[in-house]
Amino acid sequence: MMYQPFHELFPAIAEKETRVITLFKNNDYGLPPDDYMFIELFCNEPDCDCRRAMFQVFSLSNSHDLATICWGWESTSFYVKWLGFNDKDLLADLKGPALNKGSHQTSKSTTLLKMFSDILLTDSMYIQRVKRHYSIFKRTK
């Protein structure tokens, strides 16, 4: 399964709708003050409908990739059927949110995953936006 950044196909939409979280000094996450950008990536296999996204988290102050988070928005039963078998550990990674095991991670990755879960996954409008981006992206494949 190969993932491709949403902004490669839809730069104008991505420029307006990519989520950035700004943290100031003494924030709840103990992270350095910075703007943290969540770049969306989607599976580019034509026949795949995994209903998942990956998010590369970048520090805007130094352009470093700090984490790659995976997230599937469907039910566990959807992923059991999609996967074809029931493997608890694999399903936890498919559904997420989780740090993508095959990607570069840093000492900040676990904290960024918590911030993603606390802030972005509690925002219903953001969740709908990601699903809409997935649909737009998959229509090109």
Where are the domains positioned within the chain?
3-136
Decide if pLDDT at 38 tops 80: yes
Instruction: Give the C-alpha separation, 29 to 25, whole Å.
Output: 10
Encode pLDDT of 94-128 as tens digits. 998 999 999 999 999 999 999 999 999 999 999 99
Lowest-confidence segment of 60-69, 81-90, 120-129 by average pLDDT: 81-90
Q: Angle CA(16)–CA(3)–CA(92) in degrees, nearest 5?
A: 105
pTM of the complete model: 0.94
Across 80-111, b (16+ Cβ under 10 Å) vs e yields bebeeeeeeeebebbbbbbbbeeeebeebbee
